[in-house]
A and B are shown apart, each in its own frame.
Chain A
Amino acid sequence: SAVISQKPSRDICQRGTSLTIQCQVDSQVTMMFWYRQQPGQSLTLIATANQGSEATYESGFVIDKFPISRPNLTFSTLTVSNMSPEDSSIYLCSVEPGSDETQYFGPGTRLLVL
């Protein structure tokens, strides 16, 4: 398994601003994932972040809106840019630390945009 932390745990932001969310893992992992969970909904994959390469975005998500950094094997950031109330969600990072494909999730960042 893996121990994953996210910062901030929650935030309230004004529309038009940007927020950067950090994800820290206690071990080196190749693949990290960013998900969004809108209120009362399921999880949707935003992008896959591999160290040393550009993030791969899912349909409906673009780099200008959700830029991602992956500077090393234990850390990643997701920025939510030019926020609107529709961006109010829980943002979660996950990793696959082992030889199988089991994913482990961080505690999430609860974002409210006013």
Chain B
Amino acid sequence: GIQVEQSPPDLILQEGANSTLRCNFSDSVNNLQWFHQNPWGQLINLFYIPSGTKQNGRLSATTVATERYSLLYISSSQTTDSGVYFCAVARYGNNRLAFGKGNQVVVIP
């Protein structure tokens, strides 16, 4: 199956700082999604981004499918950004998402 690697595994940020999370994947995909799992366990879909760049408020994401990586940018971080960020991918015509191990982010005031 597809291998998904996320880095860094753990990140501590001062409130207001910016950060970049990276997702590498081992095979061609046409489905890539970023999720945020808050400290209470709820998973929120942030982006569906198999290619290109999208922005939503302080968050943005870029996927370079030909080079098999995606980046999630968090700007002006807030304590509510704390949690685990997951990257998940699937091949063309296949909705079965394979998840990376996640980026554990802690934002301190």
Q: Which residues of A contact B (CB under 8 A)?
A: 1, 31, 33, 41-45, 48, 58, 90, 92, 94, 96, 100-105, 107-108, 110
With a cutoff of 8 Å between Cβ atoms, the chain A residues found around residue B35 in the complex are: 105
A–B Cβ pairs within 8 angstroms, 29 of them: A1-B45, A33-B95, A33-B96, A41-B101, A42-B101, A42-B102, A43-B43, A43-B97, A43-B99, A45-B97, A45-B98, A48-B95, A48-B96, A58-B96, A92-B43, A94-B43, A96-B95, A101-B48, A101-B90, A101-B95, A102-B33, A102-B45, A103-B33, A104-B45, A105-B43, A105-B45, A107-B41, A108-B43, A110-B41
Q: Mark B95-109, 1 if CB is under 8 A from A, else 0.
A: 111111110000000
The B interface is mostly helix, strand or loop, or mixed, namely strand
Distance in Å from the Cβ of A23 to the closest Cβ of chain B?
A: 14
Task: Please name all residues of chain A whose beta carbon is closer than 8 Å to the beta carbon of B86 when the two chains form the complex.
Answer: 42-43
B56 an interface residue at 8 Å Cβ cutoff? no
Query: B88 to chain A: which residues have CB within 8 Å?
Result: 43, 103
**By CB atoms of chain A within 10 A, which of B43, B44, B98, B100 has the most?**
B43
Question: B31 interface residue, CB < 8 Å from A?
Answer: yes
B74 to chain A, nearest CB (A): 20
> Which residues of B are found within 8 Å of A107, using beta-carbon distances?
41-42
Q: For A90, what are the chain B residues with a Cβ–Cβ distance below 8 Å?
A: 41
Is there an interface contact between A44 and B99, defined as CB atoms closer than 8 Å?
Answer: yes
B34 CB, min distance to chain A CBs, angstroms: 11
Residues of B contacting A33 in the complex (Cβ-Cβ under 8 angstroms): 95-97
Q: Which residues on B sit within 8 Å (CB–CB) of A94? A: 43
When the two chains form their complex, are residues A103 and B97 in contact, meaning their CB atoms are under 8 A apart? yes
Which residue of chain B lies nearest to A31 when distances are taken between CB atoms in the complex? Answer: B95
Q: Flag if B42 contacts A102 (CB, 8 Å).
A: no
B 54-90 binary contact with A (CB < 8 Å = 1; else 0): 0000000000000000000000000000000010101
Question: Is the Cβ of B48 less than 8 Å from the Cβ of A102?
Answer: yes
Nearest chain B CB to A10 CB, angstrom units: 10
